Amino acid sequence: MIDSYLKLGSGRSFEIRDTEISCLHLNIDANDIAVNCYEDSVVNIISSKYTQVNGNLKVKKRGQNDFNVNFPGSKRYPWSEFHDENLKKSTTGETSFSEKLYALKLIMTPFRKHNKNAFGKQHEYIENIIVKDNPIRKSIFDKLLQTGVLIKSHGSPMYELNDSKLQEYGINWGDLKSLNMNKRLEKFLR
């Protein structure tokens, strides 16, 4: 996450993957951008101002995971199919609900049924790949642990989700996928 000016490219092609960019001014200087969204790689770009050097810029998404953008001009080609109104940068300097909800989505997405009755994922993957040094994700991750939504298995390198706590706090897969907020989830993220 960056809070000032960011320039991507140098007149040629470049690739991005597993990236979250939030800046005040984004400048793209490239002919082609390849956005790799394979497996658990997600790419989000948010900016208050946007400039583009090449008027013929081409953006190619590879893979099935999410690629979302929201900046002035992102409703137009070549960004239009990736534009997401739910992806917003806080203008007050505080973390917005949409940023918190998106962080929750990133943390929860890798969980799948790994045993008959438990959703699980290796703790190293969650801590080192998903949460990393991102302060918003770290805050949401800590809250998931503190509230018992996420439990570290004893004798196993796995985090498991507590189904009853998911329901209690209004965390469900459908809302996360579409980034919808319900009252219980809003209270949880507050």
Whether 130 is covered by a domain: the verdict is yes
Mean pLDDT of the region 23-50:
86
Whether 50 is covered by a domain: the verdict is yes
Structural domain for 135, as ranges: 97-189
Is residue 125 located within the same domain as residue 180? yes
Q: Rounded to an integer, what distance in angstroms lies between the CA atom of residue 88 and that of residue 96?
A: 8
Enter the DSSP assignment of 82. G
Alpha helices in 59-114 (DSSP H): 97-108
Q: Rounded to an integer, what distance in angstroms lies between the CA atom of residue 149 and that of residue 141?
A: 10
Whether 91 is covered by a domain: the verdict is no
Is residue 19 located within the same domain as residue 74? yes
Whether 110 is covered by a domain: the verdict is yes
Higher model confidence: residue 168 or residue 121? 168
Per the CB < 8 A criterion, the answer to whether 22 and 46 are in contact is yes
The CA distances from residue 139 to 87, 123, 163, 181, in Å, are: 18, 16, 21, 18
Enter the DSSP assignment of 83. B
Is residue 109 located within the same domain as residue 73? no
Whether 90 is covered by a domain: the verdict is no
Is residue 43 located within the same domain as residue 119? no
Could you give the number of structural domains in the chain?
A: 2
pLDDT-derived band at 2, boundaries 50, 70, 90 = very low
> Residue written as tokens 């590879």?
62
- What pLDDT sits at residue 1? 47
CA dihedral over 128, 124, 84, 82, signed as positive or negative:
positive
Residue where one domain finishes, among candidates 82, 114, 146? 82
Per the CB < 8 A criterion, the answer to whether 54 and 29 are in contact is yes
Question: pTM of the entire structure?
Answer: 0.55
Is residue 72 located within the same domain as residue 24? yes
Model confidence pLDDT, tens digit, residues 133-174:
888 888 899 999 999 999 887 777 888 888 899 999 999 887
Is residue 122 located within the same domain as residue 177? yes
